[in-house]
Amino acid sequence: MNALILAAGDGTRIKSVVPKILLPLCGVPLIQRTILTLKDAGITDMIVIVGFKKDVVKNYLEDGSKYGVKISYATNGDYERENATSILKAEKMVDEKFLLVMGDHIFTPNIIKCILSVKGDLVIATDSNPRYIDVGEATKIFIDADEIKDIGKDLTEFNAVDTGIFLCSKQIFPVITQCLKDGKEEWSDSIKKYIENHKVVSYDVSASFWLDVDTEEDLKKAETLLLGSLTKPGDGYISRNLNRKISTKISKHLVKTGITPNQLTLISFMIALISATSFSFGGYIYVAVGGVSAQLASILDGCDGEIARLKFLQTSYGSWLDACLDRYADFLIILGMTYGYWIIHKEVLIWLIGFICLAGTFMIAYAPTRYKEAFNENWRTRSKRIPIGRDVRLFIIFLGGISNQILYSLILLAILANLEALMRLIHHRKDSKN
Amino acid sequence: MNALILAAGDGTRIKSVVPKILLPLCGVPLIQRTILTLKDAGITDMIVIVGFKKDVVKNYLEDGSKYGVKISYATNGDYERENATSILKAEKMVDEKFLLVMGDHIFTPNIIKCILSVKGDLVIATDSNPRYIDVGEATKIFIDADEIKDIGKDLTEFNAVDTGIFLCSKQIFPVITQCLKDGKEEWSDSIKKYIENHKVVSYDVSASFWLDVDTEEDLKKAETLLLGSLTKPGDGYISRNLNRKISTKISKHLVKTGITPNQLTLISFMIALISATSFSFGGYIYVAVGGVSAQLASILDGCDGEIARLKFLQTSYGSWLDACLDRYADFLIILGMTYGYWIIHKEVLIWLIGFICLAGTFMIAYAPTRYKEAFNENWRTRSKRIPIGRDVRLFIIFLGGISNQILYSLILLAILANLEALMRLIHHRKDSKN
């Protein structure tokens, strides 16, 4: 199945020298987002309808191979007319069934995967509870029992809006041709006509994120929403309430640069190295700098993943490298703290505590990933757990550093991490999948 | 699909007070192995044909719920006659398609999974290259292009033997009835008759392990073969050439006791704890005892998995617990070595080395399991790797202990483990699966 992307319009409501669909959102032009989102959903064959400044668009996207997809083009010289004229240009190029999406809409791969699973010759992804768009401007839809009964911008009775994502069959083209003859050039006019003789299915995606970018305000809103979506379900308390708030602000600027996620992983590791070195000198100022830079490394540790997700740069290697370097960073910081305390106090006990702390820290990371390997399913936490993820650990180290209480922060870490590790071994003993 | 297990015979060729099928092989009676192997292959509904000492067999197996399967019984009072008489007793109980296996055969779940995927009304798992059985005693088969043309114990021209595993349909019963009327009571007689009017498909399983247990020698051979199959593809050099040789000898005895794999995991951990404690005293005798007990823990660390595989006791929790306790055992032994060296030599450098050694040791275990999580595929090693698995690490510790060279063994471990960990991070950077 191929996908048809409408990108011919002149986007007059945004003032810009480049076509609207080439405006960057979190570092990635709108149409490139559409293409990469479709690719994430498994669609790799695409037709882009160009019109306004078509050569600029074609020069930017080329044949799609740099995105790992195949892009063909059709041109709509009448791009100032409504969008049904664009769709018709692709009549000979689309497959028997094809996806139709708008080049200036933001949506998740999940919406595409879902609509592909719905049966019907015309399926429209609808939103019964639109949160992020101006409903007044939207194409309204009246649905009765999953079937679309009416559609139009001026509908007074409606219970959803269209999201600009459609699963079509070639049966639609004769209807479009007829509508254009009748002077009805909106895509929704063709759907309205099609409804008269065919069943049109609605698929509600109100739980998913999508957005229609028409104005500069929309673009800003989209940026805010994308940045806000970066908090992960597994984020710990400090991450959710402190680190993410700062890291997303940093990422907002970093997306505009060419810095890669793996480079950020290395930078975060370097800062951890600075923290470890500073701690190892032992004096109060050094220890305070060590604590602050540990927390800084913790914050920056979020940015690599954020940039990767915002710019479609997530790789398996990146996530693995990040995890492995996090372990080494933890090790170095604990070693630095231990050594720094030792050279001041010369108490051998600190080495013992440092050792135990290091073991617990590793086990907190090792146990869940090894669990996934053994059980072939995600780590579930049955019990109330001690929240001792990396965000919390580095925050304890930060507090220990600025308050010059290295001994107590290491003892606290050693106890909490090992206690949690031990509790996990006991609590999961009934997970008996063979 | 249900399975029919023939277990009526009196097994006269083995002298025993219990029926042959209840004789233990590596701690598990033959028929229980058959049942658990079928279960591993996804078959949970079974019919056991009993005859000789039928109440003993039924009392042992009960309704199968203790094995997680459902067992029904049919009785063949004429169990001294040949086996076709037994099969006929289940005519009303089997599904339209059913598996037929012998209660005194050893085979792998993989053979069952494979034969289930073959189409045909009668499929026979054949072996064109039987390695472990007496071909003179076997039922011979002549195959032409996957189709069985002739079968019988006295065939002169043959190119395979039957393995005692059959995928049948109910169409076979009228043929059996006819054969019995004609005085032909061997199951192979019925197949021979069936071939006259039907296609019988052969599925070659010569790459898999199976065995027919008729005599006490067969039972001993089966034990040797099962123990020999315990070496895992991932086993390191020391494990393959030293530890497994000893651990399988220990397991051979342990299977006869009621000890569980998880208990063995804990015992191995306790011995590691003894090793760590002994190392921590620092004097030569203590260090030597520490080294020897570390190696002992390493050998015993193989037994839990071996017992689990021999007795069908593998669990996800067991493999996870084993891995987590291995990490703690490694930590404790390195800590013990470091502390023991410290109290004798009072050189703070040993703590630094111990720390680095601990970090490398953890990373060697963490990186592959985290790789599997990130890439959703098994760890592949592209490069020539430094063989520094747990077997080798504990062997280095053993050598360090008996030669009283704690410092050098820790330095060696620290260098090798961290170098390997670093090389992995670099070598896998091109593994770019998104």
Percentage above 90 pLDDT, chain B: 86
Nearest CB among B320, B327, B365 relative to A374 is that of: B320
Provide the pLDDT for residue A384: 63
Percentage above 70 pLDDT, chain A: 98
Task: Report, as an integer, the average pLDDT of B57-78.
Answer: 96
Return d(Cα A71, Cα A59) in angstroms, integer. 12
Provide the pLDDT for residue A434: 47
* Residue A40 CB coordination number (10 Å): 16
On the question of pLDDT at B19 being above 50, the answer is yes
Return d(Cα B25, Cα B14) in angstroms, integer. 14
Mutate to test the interface with A, among B314, B361, B370 (most CBs of A within 10 A): B370
Provide the pLDDT for residue A53: 94
Higher pLDDT, A129 or A14: A129
Provide the pLDDT for residue A94: 96
Nearest CB among B323, B331, B428 relative to A370 is that of: B323
- Within 8 A of A375 by CB-CB distance, chain B residues are 316-317, 320
Compute the 3-state secondary structure of chain A and give helix, strand, coil in percent, each to the nearest 5.
55, 15, 30
Residue A200: exposure state from Cβ atoms within 10 A (0-12, 13-18, ≥19): buried
Task: Report, as an integer, the average pLDDT of B374-382.
Answer: 77
C-alpha angle with apex A318: A314 to A322, nearest 5 degrees? 125
pLDDT tens track for A108-128: 999 999 999 999 999 999 999
pLDDT tens track for A268-313: 999 999 999 999 999 999 999 999 999 999 999 999 999 999 999 9
Alpha-carbon distances, residue A160 vs A127, A128, A209, A365 (angstroms): 5, 4, 15, 45
On the question of pLDDT at A380 being above 80, the answer is no
B433 with A374: Cβ contact below 8 A: no
Provide the pLDDT for residue A432: 65
- Within 8 A of B321 by CB-CB distance, chain A residues are 425, 429
- The alpha carbon of residue B59 is apart from the nearest alpha carbon of chain A, in Å, by 26
pLDDT band at B132 (very low <50, low <70, confident <90, very high): confident
pLDDT tens track for A413-422: 999 999 999 9
pLDDT tens track for B221-275: 999 999 999 988 888 999 999 999 999 999 999 999 999 999 999 999 999 999 9
Top mean pLDDT of A181-185, A327-331, A372-376, A386-390 is at A327-331
Q: How many helices (H) and strands (E) in chain A?
A: 15, 13
B314 with A434: Cβ contact below 8 A: yes
Provide the pLDDT for residue B384: 63
Given CA atoms B125, B126, B129, B134 in this order, what sign does their dihedral have?
positive
Provide the pLDDT for residue A381: 61
Per DSSP, the three-state class of A201 is: strand
Task: Report, as an integer, the average pLDDT of A219-232.
Answer: 92
B373 with A372: Cβ contact below 8 A: yes
DSSP secondary structure letter of residue A214: -
Per DSSP, the three-state class of A144 is: strand
**CA proximity to B348, closest of A352, A397, A283, A284:** A352
- Within 8 A of B331 by CB-CB distance, chain A residues are 355, 359
- The alpha carbon of residue A264 is apart from the nearest alpha carbon of chain B, in Å, by 15
Q: How are beta strands B45-50 and B123-127 bridged, if at all?
A: unpaired
Provide the pLDDT for residue B383: 54
- The alpha carbon of residue A44 is apart from the nearest alpha carbon of chain B, in Å, by 15
**CA proximity to B61, closest of B108, B89, B91, B103:** B103
Task: Report, as an integer, the average pLDDT of A21-40.
Answer: 96
- CA dihedral of residues B35, B41, B42, B43 (deg, nearest 10): -40
Return d(Cα B180, Cα B182) in angstroms, integer. 5
DSSP secondary structure letter of residue A241: I
Three-state SS letters, B319-375: HHHHHHHHHHHHHHHHHHHHHHHHHHHCCCHHHHHHHHHHHHHHHHHHHHHHHHHHH
B373 with A374: Cβ contact below 8 A: no
Provide the pLDDT for residue A132: 86
Task: Quickly tell me which residue has 């990469």 as its tokens.
Answer: A36
Length of chain A as a residue count? 434
Structure tokens belonging to residue B394: 């504990």
Find the helix packing angle between A316-345 and A349-375, rounded to 10°: 160
**CA-based nearest residue in chain A for residue B314:** A434
Contact B68, B92 (CB under 8 A): no
What is the predicted ipTM? 0.91
On the question of pLDDT at B380 being above 80, the answer is no
Provide the pLDDT for residue B288: 98
pLDDT tens track for A129-182: 998 888 888 999 999 988 999 999 999 999 999 999 999 999 999 999 999 999
C-alpha angle with apex A313: A308 to A315, nearest 5 degrees? 95
C-alpha angle with apex B47: B45 to B49, nearest 5 degrees? 165
Percentage above 90 pLDDT, chain A: 86
pLDDT band at A383 (very low <50, low <70, confident <90, very high): low
Name the strand (E) or helix (H) holding B289.
helix B284-310
Task: Quickly tell me which residue has 């199945």 as its tokens.
Answer: A1
Average pLDDT, rounded, for chain A = 94
pLDDT tens track for A87-111: 999 999 999 999 999 999 999 999 9
Given CA atoms A432, B3, B8, B9 in this order, what sign does their dihedral have?
negative
Higher pLDDT, A434 or B38: B38
On the question of pLDDT at A367 being above 50, the answer is yes
Structure tokens belonging to residue A226: 């994308």
Find the helix packing angle between B284-310 and B261-281, rounded to 10°: 170
Task: Quickly tell me which residue has 């409408």 as its tokens.
Answer: A6
What's the maximum distance between 2 C-alpha atoms anywhere in chain A? 91
Q: Name the residue type at position B419.
A: L
Per DSSP, the three-state class of B334 is: helix
**CA proximity to A246, closest of A231, A261, A234, A226:** A231
Length of chain B as a residue count? 434
On the question of pLDDT at B432 being above 80, the answer is no
Concatenated DSSP letters for B210-271? EEE--SHHHHHHHHHHHHHTT--TT--HHIIIIIHHHHHHHHHHHTTS---HHHHHHHHHHH
Return d(Cα B192, Cα B139) in angstroms, integer. 12
Name the strand (E) or helix (H) holding B204.
strand B201-204
Structure tokens belonging to residue B145: 């292009």
**CA-based nearest residue in chain A for residue B323:** A370
Return d(Cα B69, Cα A317) in angstroms, integer. 43
**CA-based nearest residue in chain A for residue B339:** A352
Contact B267, B300 (CB under 8 A): yes
**CA proximity to A162, closest of A202, A110, A198:** A202
* Residue B80 CB coordination number (10 Å): 13
Structural domains for chain B = 2-224 (3.90.550.10), 230-430 (1.20.120.1760)
Contact A387, A237 (CB under 8 A): yes
Name the strand (E) or helix (H) holding A123.
strand A122-127
Provide the pLDDT for residue B249: 96
DSSP secondary structure letter of residue A14: S
pLDDT band at A68 (very low <50, low <70, confident <90, very high): very high
**CA-based nearest residue in chain A for residue B369:** A370
Provide the pLDDT for residue A433: 54
- Residue A265's Cβ-side half-sphere holds a number of Cα atoms within 13 Å equal to 20
Task: For A65, list phi and psi in degrees, rounded to 5.
Answer: -65, -30
Return d(Cα B169, Cα B97) in angstroms, integer. 4
Per DSSP, the three-state class of B257 is: coil
Provide the pLDDT for residue A382: 54
Structure tokens belonging to residue B269: 């951990």
- The alpha carbon of residue A28 is apart from the nearest alpha carbon of chain B, in Å, by 18
Return d(Cα B165, Cα B108) in angstroms, integer. 11
C-alpha angle with apex A147: A102 to A179, nearest 5 degrees? 55
Q: How are beta strands B2-7 and B45-50 bridged, if at all?
A: parallel
Q: How are beta strands B201-204 and B123-127 bridged, if at all?
A: parallel
Where helices occur in B166-215 by DSSP H, the ranges are 172-181, 187-197
- Within 8 A of B315 by CB-CB distance, chain A residues are 432-434
Higher pLDDT, B137 or A359: A359
**CA proximity to B300, closest of B360, B258, B259, B354:** B259
pLDDT tens track for B26-51: 999 999 999 999 999 999 999 999 99
Residue A422: exposure state from Cβ atoms within 10 A (0-12, 13-18, ≥19): middle
Alpha-carbon distances, residue A23 vs A14, A67, A73, B8, B330 (angstroms): 10, 18, 20, 79, 55
Structure tokens belonging to residue A48: 């882009």
DSSP secondary structure letter of residue A129: S
A323 with B370: Cβ contact below 8 A: yes
Contact A321, A260 (CB under 8 A): no
